[in-house]
């Protein structure tokens, strides 16, 4: 008798548990509709280009050191200095472009490292230019400047100098604009409408 009562109680408990789960676990049609609307909103938001405003940051005393390893394991060295700059984060479509506008620019660029045929040791061919302002595009690793005073040098040593005397340049002049890319092993440099003058150098170099 006792066993039968226990058995009936157990069945009743199971039935009650099933009914409880069915009531609280069932998804109503209203809940399902709300879920579908929420998913559609998320898909729509993801398909729309992000909208934002440009963020700017002012910087002082900017210096960039850039190195390029060549096939012969030599390393070309570039240095860009500016008195100040404005760093901008610009939302474009679904990407962010990082651009830095530089002011009062000086740039040293090693073009070639070599050894003197006269046996006087290591030498370098270097470019140096100054400009009032320029633009560095981080995404493309590209630099652009206009109205540039450009000088070319043959100097002793393989270390990039910190100062230069433009009077000792073997070629100097004005370029309408310069551009160079710092991506890859071989930097690409271009100077448009470069009006230059040549200076006679010592033939031993």
> Residue 112: CB partners within 8 Å, gap ≥ 6?
76, 124, 125
pLDDT tens per residue, range 168-197: 999 999 999 999 987 766 778 999 999 989
Closest CA to 62 of 143, 172, 169, 121: 143
What is the per-residue pLDDT across 119-173, written as a single tens digit (0 to 9) for each?
Answer: 779 999 999 999 999 999 988 889 999 999 999 999 999 999 999 999 999 999 9
pLDDT at 16: 55
> What pLDDT was estimated at residue 46?
41
From the CB of residue 109, how many other CB atoms can be counted at a distance below 10 Å? 23
DSSP conformation class of 70: -
Residue 7 pLDDT exceeds 80: no
Neighbours of 173 (CB within 10 A): 17
Residue with tokens 């033939």: 203
- For 45-100, the pLDDT digits (tens) are 343 334 567 888 999 999 999 998 877 788 899 999 999 999 998 888 778 889 99
Give the H/E segment covering residue 39: helix 29-47
Residue with the bigger pLDDT between 187 and 106: it is: 106
pLDDT of residue 69: 83
């Amino acid at each position: 008798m006792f066993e039968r009562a226990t058995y009936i109680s157990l069945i009743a408990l199971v039935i009650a548990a099933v009914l409880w789960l069915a009531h609280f676990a069932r998804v109503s049609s209203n809940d399902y509709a709300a879920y579908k609307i929420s998913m559609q909103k998320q898909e729509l938001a993801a398909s729309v280009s992000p909208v934002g405003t440009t963020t700017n940051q002012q910087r002082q005393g900017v210096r960039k050191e850039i190195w390029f390893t060549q096939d012969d394991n030599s390393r070309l060295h570039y240095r860009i200095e500016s008195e100040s700059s404005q760093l901008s984060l610009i939302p474009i479509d679904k990407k962010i472009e990082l651009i830095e506008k530089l002011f009062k620019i000086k740039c040293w660029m090693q073009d070639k490292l070599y050894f003197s045929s006269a046996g006087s040791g290591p030498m370098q061919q270097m470019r140096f230019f100054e400009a009032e302002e320029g633009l560095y595009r981080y995404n493309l690793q590209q630099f652009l400047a206009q109205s540039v005073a450009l000088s070319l040098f043959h100097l002793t040593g393989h270390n990039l100098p910190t100062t230069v005397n433009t009077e000792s340049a073997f070629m100097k002049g004005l370029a309408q604009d310069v551009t160079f890319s710092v991506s890859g092993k071989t930097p690409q440099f271009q100077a448009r409408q470069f009006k230059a003058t040549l200076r006679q150098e010592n033939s031993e170099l």
